[in-house]
Amino acid sequence: MENVMLKYVIDAAVAFGPGGIAILIWYLSERSHHKSREQDREHFHKIELMINQSMTEMRQDYLNNASLVKRSQELQQQVLDVFEKNLAAQAMLAERLSRMTVCIENNLFCPLNRIEKAAKGPQS
């Protein structure tokens, strides 16, 4: 097989001369270079697709984080509202307990004392 190829190369060299051989070498080199460029294009296209996919994922992650921040701010506001309501309820409870303490100290829960104090009128 190699002898047959060598025979064709020698016949081509004799038939085309040095200029023809130079053009043949240039053509084969250009064809190889073209294949290499096509492979490079395919490789860079794959890289571009991977970068675009990565950017899309990063964009989605950013949107997810933004919505998470909004939800955490809403939750924080709800916790603050509960805290304020709890504080108001404790203040109301403290006021009522204070009034109850005064009533207990004045013994206003006993029916006899209430009737007796009402009969005496306001005391100073």
The pLDDT of residue 92 is 95
The pLDDT of residue 78 is 96
Q: Say whether pLDDT at 12 is over 60.
A: yes
Q: Say whether pLDDT at 124 is over 60.
A: no
Domain ranges across the chain:
2-120
Q: What average pLDDT is seen over the chain? A: 84
Coil/strand/helix, residue 68: helix
At 117, phi and psi to the nearest 5?
A: -70, -35
Decide: 34 and 42 in contact? Cβ < 8 Å: no
Least confident of 19-23, 52-56, 118-122: 118-122
SS (H, E, C) 37-55: HHHHHHHHHHHHHHHHHHH
- The model's pLDDT over 72-113, given as tens digits with 9 standing for 90+, comes to 999 999 999 999 999 999 999 999 999 888 877 777 667 776
